[in-house]
Structure 1
């Protein structure tokens, strides 16, 4: 599980099975609902903070800021600040972010395909716990 380099062996720092791996840390960073939604919407177009907050319903200012910084730190989002008054900042996906978007799109499609099954399973489970 993870990345392999030219010799075909697993890079320890990318091995998701290792608790101390950077790969697991990156996976943990990007595998959250807010990051997925941000990636999905930024994949449609470059956006300013307020536009993105409006698109990602239910996200707080603080949570959007934290997730954008995390995505920028991981090289998935590029932040461009323009020296205007008032200040203007735009966010866009990097090449790596675009590549991750295809995974997010797959997750969105999976959710839609299996929604009814998951919804009924949740109802059955919740009823059995009462």
Structure 2
């Protein structure tokens, strides 16, 4: 059964928020991270990263993979933040409108970073991503049963 310390959850969360994918090596309790190929499709893997992927292919049961949220989950997290915290109607409307446009995350980030809610948003997002990492641990454990 996989379990992570709060420190490991924090490290994985930080990497996911940077656009990385993480692999937790169970026997050595080591976190490996590399750019998510969906975001960095022109990225050339380093020899160390290629070695890690080869090891994962050879021994997949020894690794748990952690990925960022899917776009609908990200949008829901953003909408929840608007509903729960944003009191100014104009800003709330602008944020909701941003979610309907192409490059919605960029538009949302631009608006929120220019508002008084910037720090509160970053804390909210960090907490939601920690929960997301824990959900992935639960899914990994459920799949193992």
What TM-score does the superposition give when structure 2 sets the normalisation length?
Answer: 0.28
What TM-score does the superposition give when structure 1 sets the normalisation length?
Answer: 0.30
